[in-house]
Structure 1
Amino acid sequence: MTIVYESARDTHHYQERFQLPCVAPAPFVRPGERGLFVRRPRGDRGGASPDSRYEAALGRWGLIPLFAGSQDYPATFEARGESASRERDFLQPWKRGHRCIVLADALYRRGENDQRMVRVTRADGEPLALAGLWNGWRAPDGQCVESFALLTLPSEEQPGERRAVFLREGWLDDWLHCPVEEAAACLRPYDLGKLLRTPVDEAPPREVA
């Protein structure tokens, strides 16, 4: 599904949507690299204001389950929206309501013929709000390593393919704060008419900073 995403770089998006004076994230994030995500404040930390509904965190794109033996746990970049609540790798984050949002200016994926990349953006120029799950894994040395996965749904236009879940603008707070039993209702196909898909020769080079 996803090859790389381009983080939302304008900090006013974090300020307007989440009242976060957010630091600029890495410009491009690939599976296994660190990315910025927004969640409701962790209850086991005292850093957030009591009135805060959101906080930003950095973590590895590739969720590390609680039972993992090391932080190199493989292939958890995507969580299937229709079954994440039952899958071993994602069961605990789903039950605990560890939901998050990744703001992205663009997402790069393979095109329909798999020969070229496609850069997916919102037609109105606003950032994509990608739905995800996060987890905090305790390393043997006691360090808490945070990580996340992006949720996906089956592609409507390409049978057999999957698409990242783009949250509707009015559902951002609901996704982060609604009861667990209501979360799946936020995972809906996005209106493709609101997206621009631009063919590009390749994804951004890894050395871009």
Structure 2
Amino acid sequence: MIHHYQSAREPDPYAARFGIAFQPGPQLEVRPGQPGVFVRRPRADQLGNLQSPCDFEAVTGRWGLIPLFSKDGEDPLFEAPAESAAGERNYLQPWKRGHRCVVLADVLFEQGEGASTQRLSRADGKVLAIAGLWNAWRSPQGQCVESFAIFTVSAENGQRHAALLHDAWLEDWLACPVEETAAYLRPYVPASDLLRREVA
């Protein structure tokens, strides 16, 4: 279970990894149901406004993916299991459409053994890149609601952890064919590149 994360507070990771001139606001602790920033390839209906179809954009959406078939936007999905999301009705449409995204976070808080919480960061001090899935849902009133879920993978200890992406994978993750998606959703190795500390 992912309790919350601290969004990336500096513009450098957006510029260096995606070529995006994006200025984050004050560092935010993003919790399920709250707005957060994610990076994606632009929506198909926006491509005509871009210089290149390979461009990326930073978007603010709600953490809690709303399935296309939802009538009221309730019961959002915060975590998508990497092993089964492709076959689950809740995630099927955004998966098939290649609606993948990346959430950049300075720190991630996950459930540890028992009721403990672990603080996760990179040993080199760089931001974490979390694999995600986004969707655009239209409410009965006609409002377009952007939302996202974070992928999780099964760990050797039987728990689930966020699906973290290596820096070299980021553009490929966002642009690869749908059938190659699963190749990027695996436990992060080497584990020594990550710092885990129990905080509660």
Normalised by the length of structure 2, the TM-score is: 0.94
Structure 1 residues 178 and 46: alpha-carbon distance in aligned structure 2, compared to 1, 3 A threshold: closer
Match of 1:79 in 2: 80
Q: How far 1:70 moved relative to its partner?
A: 1.3
Counterpart residue type for residue 41 of structure 1: P
For 2:150 and 2:49, locate their aligned partners in 1 and report how far apart those are by CA, in whole Å.
24
Match of 1:135 in 2: 135
Counterpart residue type for residue 192 of structure 2: G
Match of 2:60 in 1: 58
Q: How far 1:112 moved relative to its partner?
A: 1.6
Deviations 1:98-142 (A, max 9, x none): 00000010101222232x321100001111100000000011121
Alpha-carbon contact 2:107-2:121 (below 8 Å) kept: yes
Deviations 1:68-125 (A, max 9, x none): 0112234x100010111100110000000000000010101222232x3211000011
Match of 2:169 in 1: 171
For 1:118 and 1:185, locate their aligned partners in 2 and report how far apart those are by CA, in whole Å.
26
User: Runs in 1 of length 4+ with deviation above 4 angstroms?
Assistant: none
Alpha-carbon contact 2:10-2:23 (below 8 Å) kept: no
Does residue 28 (structure 1) correspond to residue 29 (structure 2)? The answer is yes
Partner of 2:9, secondary structure, is coil
Q: How far 1:155 moved relative to its partner?
A: 1.4
Structure 1 residues 65 and 43: alpha-carbon distance in aligned structure 2, compared to 1, 3 A threshold: same
Counterpart residue type for residue 71 of structure 1: G
Partner of 1:71, secondary structure, is coil
Structure 1 residues 163 and 4: alpha-carbon distance in aligned structure 2, compared to 1, 3 A threshold: same
Q: How far 1:48 moved relative to its partner?
A: 4.8
Answer with 17-26 or 30-39: which moved more: 17-26
For structure 2, the residue ranges without an aligned partner over 5 or more in a row are none
Structure 1 residues 166 and 48: alpha-carbon distance in aligned structure 2, compared to 1, 3 A threshold: farther
Match of 1:41 in 2: 42
For 2:85 and 2:176, locate their aligned partners in 1 and report how far apart those are by CA, in whole Å.
17
Partner of 1:184, secondary structure, is helix
Normalised by the length of structure 1, the TM-score is: 0.90
For 2:23 and 2:148, locate their aligned partners in 1 and report how far apart those are by CA, in whole Å.
18
Percentage of identical aligned residues: 54
